[in-house]
Amino acid sequence: MEREARHQARTAVVTGAGGGMLSGLLGGGGGAVMIPLMTGVMKMRQHVAHGTSLVIIAFSALAGGITYSLQEQVDAGLVAALVAGSVAGAYAGARGSTLVPGLRLRQILGVFLIAVAFRLLLIRDITPVFSVDGLAEAAIAGAIGLVGGLASGALGVGGGSIFVPALVLLLGVGQHEAQGISIWVIVFSSAMGGFTHYRQGTVDVAAVRWIVPAAVPAGVAGSLVATQLDARQLQLLFSIILIGLGIQLLATATRRLRRGDKQAILLAETTPV
């Protein structure tokens, strides 16, 4: 029993450190690192892992956001517009997470991340899709926030994998500033999604207590590293990690769906008519 407790503690520290570092480094949430460890090594149910991840992300993103703001200027107006959309999206995503076929959604997100990463990776000079400001810019930012929030609440990720490339590609925001904006938005969207999951009983409070102390300093460290990198270096790193995350989401979801199909076929063959 004591050996198992030590193993769980080590896993919790690795989970928090990996998720926090990714959160700070990429302006994301780190859920793509934490959720596979929670469901695999820590044996959490999928929906509980999603809810637990969001609660932890809220803490690590807050630490990373403060660090970013001390090093880089962040557009408060864009943060507010994205927060408005992302909080609504996170609530809806968390509420509907038990109704949506999550594995199909993970497949779609995986393909999306890979496509966005190659766009960032292969095209050095990116012309933004929209050249707007004022209310039009706020409206587009709100829509970006809504989409990222939906993904956040439903999948237990922070949403940065959507916020950052969308800000860069659609609005022409610089990579550093996009990540600083994203991480602040994630604080609010993850808090909303995590609270909604908590009320639904899909948060492992004991795991949160173990993981948060590792995630917070890792989030600060990741943010400090990110602010020291050249914008293009950071964009290349972001793209490479996005490809890895996209492949991981796509592969695991496809494998589980195939396993589920085999089980359904077996059940049909063994069930008397």
Interhelix angle 205-228/46-71, nearest 10 degrees? 30
Residue 34's contacts (CB-CB under 8 Å, 6 or more residues apart) are 15, 16, 18, 19, 49, 53, 56, 57, 211
> How many angstroms separate the CA atoms of 231 and 185, rounded?
20
From 7, 19, 9, select the one nearest 217 (Cα to Cα).
19
Query: Which tokens sit at 88?
Result: 């609504």
Give the pLDDT score at 136. 92
> How many angstroms separate the CA atoms of 255 and 62, rounded?
34
DSSP conformation class of 42: S
Each domain of the chain, given as residue ranges in start order, spans 2-270
Give the pLDDT score at 266. 37
The widest CA-to-CA distance across the chain, in whole angstroms, is 67
Give the pLDDT score at 202. 87
Query: What CA–CA distances, in Å, run from 2 to 7, 38, 57?
Result: 9, 20, 28
Residue 3's contacts (CB-CB under 8 Å, 6 or more residues apart) are none
Mean pLDDT by 10 residues, the chain (273 residues): 66 81 76 76 80 89 88 87 89 73 72 78 72 88 89 71 86 87 88 87 89 90 86 81 82 81 42 33
Give the pLDDT score at 265. 38
Residue 47 near residue 202 (C-beta atoms within 8 A): yes
> How many angstroms separate the CA atoms of 252 and 107, rounded?
9
Q: Can you tell me which residue has the tokens 């995630």?
A: 215
